[in-house]
C-alpha cells in the first residue's frame, strides 16, 4: 500500500476514533448536567482527580 | 445626537475594545500548539485562528450571550453606569493580573464585574442565584472536562499508533492539527465573543433601544466576532515578533489531542449556554496530554496558579466594579 493511502486511512481512523471517544464523554457529562449541577460538579471533579491518581501510578512505574 | 445615546455608543465601543483585548490575550492559546509543531508558520497560524474566530459568528447560536444578558443579574437594574463599571472592573483586574503574570480569565472577570456593579447599584437581591451558581461551578468543571477528554483522546491515539511508523504518524497529525486548531479557534470565538454580545445587548435592552423583548441583533454578533478576530490578528503578530518560536515543544499528536478535546469542551459549554474560560480549558487539555506521558512532567506551578485564580477573580473584579460604580454614581 502506498504511503499516501496509508496516511489517508490513518487520518480517517483517527478522526473516527476522536468522534467515538469524545461523543460518549460529552453525552455522559450532559446526562450528569441534566441530573443536576451537584452531580456534574461532583462527578467530573472526582473522576478527574481519580484519573490523575491512576495516571500517576501508571506513569511512574 | 443626545448625550445619553453618545454615552451608550461609547460603552458599546468599550465593550468591543474588551473583546479585542480578549482576542489579543488569547491569541497565544490559539496559535501556540500549531506553531510549536511547525505545522504552520506563525503568520499563517495567526490568520488561520482569526479567520475561524470570525467564522464562529455563523450558526453556533447565542446561548452564552443570553446567559450573560439575562442570567447573571436582573436586567431591570442594568443601566449605562452598571455596564460601564462592570467593563472597567473586568479590564482593570485583567491588567493587574497580566502585570502580575497570573493566568486569570477575562470571562470570569466580566461576570465578577457585572455582579459587583449590580450589587453596588441595587443590593444583593439582583443576583440571579441559579445562573451564577452554574457559571461558578463551570469555572472548576471546564478545566477538568478538558483534562478528562484530553486523557481519553491521547490514550486512544497512543493505542491506535502503537505500531505505525513515526513518519506516517507525523504526516497524519500535521493535517489533523489544521482541523483541531480551527475547531479550537471556532470554539474560542463563539464562547468569548458571546460574552460581549450579551453585555451590549442587555445594555441596549435596558435602555430601551432593543424593543420589548431581549434578543441579540445580528450586527452585534458580527461586530463582536470581528473585534475578537482583529484582536487575535494583532495579538498573534505581537507574539510572532516578541516570542518567535520560544513556545513549549509539543508533538503534533499531543497538540491535536489537547486542541480537539478543549474545542469539544468549549463547544459543549457554549451549547448549554455557559460562559467558560477558554484559556483554562485548554490548560486542562494540555495537562491531560502531559499526564499520559509522565505526571511529573506537568508544570504544576501553572495548575496551582489556575486554582488560585479561580478563587480570586470574581470577588476582585466585583470589588473593582463596585468601587467604580460608587465613584461614577456620585457624579
B144–A45 CB contact, under 8 Å: yes
Nearest to B148 among A3, A15, A47 (CB): A47
At B17, list the grid cell. Answer: 475594545
CB contact at 8 A, B278 and B266: yes
pLDDT, residue B1, reads: 63
Q: Rounded to the nearest 5°, which phi and psi values hold at B232?
A: -65, -45
For A47, the 3-state DSSP assignment is helix
CA distances from B123 to B69, B77, B86, B108, B126 (A): 18, 10, 15, 20, 6
On whether any CB of chain A is under 8 Å from the CB of B264, the answer is yes
Among the partner-chain residues A14, A26, A37, the one whose CB lies closest to the CB of B176 is: A14
| CB < 8 Å to B269, chain A | none
CA B130 to chain centroid: 21
Which residue of A5, A25, A32, A53 is the best one to mutate when testing the B interface, meaning the one whose CB has the most B CBs within 10 A? A25
CA-nearest residue to A9 within chain B is: B172
Q: Is the pLDDT of residue A1 over 80?
A: no
**C-alpha cell, A26:** 460529552
* Angstrom distance (rounded) from CA B226 to CA B302: 31
Nearest by Cα to B282 from B314, B297, B260? B260
Burial of A55 (0-12, 13-18, 19+ CB in 10 A): buried
Number of A:B CB contacts under 8 A? Answer: 93
Smallest Cα–Cα separation from B223: which of B205, B203, B200, B242?
A: B200
Dihedral sign from CA coordinates of B154, B155, B158, B159: negative
Q: What pLDDT shows up at residue B56?
A: 82
pLDDT at B146: 92
For testing the chain A interface, which of B165, B268, B274, B284 should be mutated: the one with the most A CBs within 10 Å?
Answer: B268
Please answer yes or no on whether B295 and A40 come within 8 Å at the CB atom.
Answer: no
Residue-wise pLDDT for A13-58, tens only, equals 999 999 999 999 899 989 998 998 889 899 889 998 888 888 877 7
Residue B76 DSSP one-character state: G
Judge if pTM exceeds 0.90.
no
pLDDT on residue B59: 75
**What's the Rg (C-alpha) of chain A?**
17
Say if CB B318 and CB B89 are below 8 A apart.
yes
Q: Does B260 touch chain A (CB under 8 A)?
A: yes
Q: Give the residue among B272, B292, B263, B39 at the shortest CA–CA distance from A19.
A: B263
Residue of B nearest to A61 (CA): B294
Q: Does B137 touch chain A (CB under 8 A)?
A: yes
B292/A contact by beta carbon, under 8 A? yes
* CB-based contacts of B16, cutoff 8 Å, min separation 6: B196, B200, B223, B224, B227
With a threshold of 0.95, tell me whether the complex ipTM lies above it: no
Q: Give the whole-angstrom CA distance, residue A59 versus residue B294.
A: 5
| Interface contact A51, partner B, CB < 8 A | yes
Series of mean pLDDT values for 10-residue runs along chain B (331 residues): 85 92 76 78 86 84 85 86 91 79 78 93 89 88 92 91 83 87 90 90 88 87 91 70 45 87 92 86 85 72 72 89 90 75
* pLDDT of the residue at B249: 56
Touching check for A40 and chain B: CB below 8 Å? yes
Give residue B13's pLDDT.
94
pLDDT on residue B236 = 64
Helix, strand and coil content of chain A, in percent to the nearest 5, comes to 90, 0, 10
Chosen from A31, A41, A42 to mutate, greatest number of chain B CBs within 10 A: A41
Amino acid at each position: 500500500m502506498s504511503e499516501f493511502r496509508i496516511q489517508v486511512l490513518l487520518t480517517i481512523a483517527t478522526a473516527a476514533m476522536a468522534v467515538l471517544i469524545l461523543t460518549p464523554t460529552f453525552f455522559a457529562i450532559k446526562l450528569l448536567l441534566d441530573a443536576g449541577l451537584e452531580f456534574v460538579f461532583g462527578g467530573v471533579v472526582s473522576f478527574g482527580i481519580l484519573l490523575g491518581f491512576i495516571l500517576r501510578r501508571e506513569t511512574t512505574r | 445626537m443626545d448625550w445619553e445615546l453618545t454615552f451608550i455608543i461609547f460603552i458599546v465601543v468599550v465593550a468591543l475594545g474588551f473583546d479585542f483585548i480578549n482576542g489579543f490575550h488569547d491569541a497565544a492559546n490559539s496559535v501556540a500548539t500549531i506553531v510549536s509543531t511547525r505545522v504552520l508558520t506563525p503568520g499563517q497560524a495567526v490568520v488561520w485562528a482569526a479567520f475561524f474566530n470570525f467564522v464562529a459568528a455563523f450558526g453556533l447560536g447565542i446561548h452564552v450571550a443570553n446567559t450573560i444578558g439575562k442570567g447573571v443579574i436582573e436586567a431591570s437594574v442594568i443601566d449605562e453606569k452598571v455596564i460601564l463599571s462592570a467593563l472597567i472592573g473586568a479590564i482593570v483586574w485583567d491588567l493587574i493580573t497580566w502585570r502580575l503574570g497570573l493566568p486569570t480569565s477575562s470571562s470570569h472577570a466580566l461576570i465578577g464585574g457585572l455582579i459587583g456593579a449590580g450589587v453596588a447599584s441595587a443590593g444583593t437581591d439582583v443576583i440571579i442565584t441559579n445562573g451564577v451558581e452554574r457559571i461558578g461551578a463551570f469555572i472548576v468543571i471546564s478545566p477538568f472536562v478538558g483534562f478528562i477528554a484530553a486523557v481519553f483522546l491521547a490514550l486512544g491515539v497512543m493505542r491506535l499508533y502503537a505500531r505505525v511508523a513515526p513518519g506516517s504518524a507525523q504526516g497524519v497529525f500535521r493535517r489533523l492539527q489544521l482541523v483541531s486548531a480551527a475547531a479550537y479557534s471556532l470554539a474560542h470565538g463563539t464562547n468569548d465573543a458571546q460574552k460581549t454580545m450579551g453585555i451590549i445587548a442587555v445594555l441596549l435592552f435596558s435602555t430601551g433601544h432593543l424593543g420589548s423583548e431581549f434578543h441579540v441583533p445580528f450586527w452585534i454578533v458580527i461586530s463582536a466576532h470581528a473585534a475578537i478576530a482583529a484582536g487575535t490578528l494583532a495579538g498573534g503578530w505581537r507574539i510572532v515578533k516578541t516570542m518567535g518560536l520560544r513556545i513549549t515543544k509539543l508533538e503534533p499528536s499531543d497538540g491535536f489531542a489537547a486542541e480537539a478535546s478543549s474545542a469539544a469542551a468549549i463547544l459543549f459549554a457554549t451549547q448549554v449556554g455557559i460562559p467558560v474560560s477558554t484559556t483554562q480549558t485548554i490548560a486542562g487539555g494540555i495537562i491531560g496530554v502531559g499526564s499520559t506521558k509522565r505526571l511529573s512532567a506537568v508544570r504544576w506551578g501553572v495548575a496551582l496558579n489556575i486554582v488560585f485564580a479561580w478563587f480570586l477573580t470574581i470577588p476582585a473584579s466585583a470589588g473593582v466594579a463596585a468601587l467604580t460604580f460608587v465613584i461614577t454614581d456620585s457624579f
